[in-house]
Amino acid sequence: MKEYSSIKFQTLSLPCFNKYRVLFYNSEGVKFIPDNLEQLLTVKGLAYWIMDDGYKTGQGFYISSESFTLMEHELLVKILKNKFDLDCNYHKHTNGYRVYIFSKSKDKLLSLIKPYLLNHFYYKFDRGLIFNHFIR
C-alpha cells in the first residue's frame, strides 16, 4: 500500500473584504465582471491586475482572464479602450479567452501603472521600456 503525505493550510479572512466578494463572485462562487466595472476600475486597480495576471508575450502583453465569458471579455476590452486608451482585444486560448494589449499600447500601459508597479514586477515588461520609464 502506498503512503502519501500532504500539507494543509488555511488562511484568515476579514469581514471588511466581503463586499468585494459580493461584487465579483456569484452565489455559487463563480467570478464575474460587474456591469459597473468601468466606474470601479482605477489605474491602481489596473496595476494590481497587471502585477497579478499580466505577462509579456512576443511584442504584446496578455492579461490572464480565462475564467470570464466571451461577453465579459468584450466588456473588459471596451473598458480598457475607453477608460485607459489602450489598444487591445481578446484572443482565444485553450481554456477560454485572454485580454491582449497590442505592442503599441505597452508604453502607454506602463506609463499609467508606473506609480504603483513594484520593482520585482519589472520583468513583466521589456527591458527597454523599463529603462525608459525608470532608469533615465
CA 99 to CA 91: how far, in whole Å?
6
- 24 located within any domain: no
Task: Reduce the secondary structure of 24-79 to three states and give it as a string.
Answer: HECCCCCECCCCCHHHHCCHHHHHHHHHHHEEEECCEEEECCCCCCHHHHHHHHHH
Owning domain of residue 123 = 45-135
- 51 located within any domain: yes
With cut-offs at 50, 70 and 90, classify the pLDDT of residue 135: low
| CATH number of the domain bearing residue 73 | 3.10.28.10
- 96 located within any domain: yes
Q: What integer pLDDT is reported at residue 92 of this predicted model? A: 96
Burial class from Cβ neighbours inside 10 Å (0-12, 13-18, 19+) for residue 18 reads exposed
CA 34 to CA 75: how far, in whole Å?
10
Q: What integer pLDDT is reported at residue 31 of this predicted model? A: 94
- 131 located within any domain: yes
- 12 located within any domain: no
In this predicted structure, the answer to whether residue 131 has a pLDDT above a threshold of 80 is no
Our count of domains for the chain comes to 1
- 65 located within any domain: yes
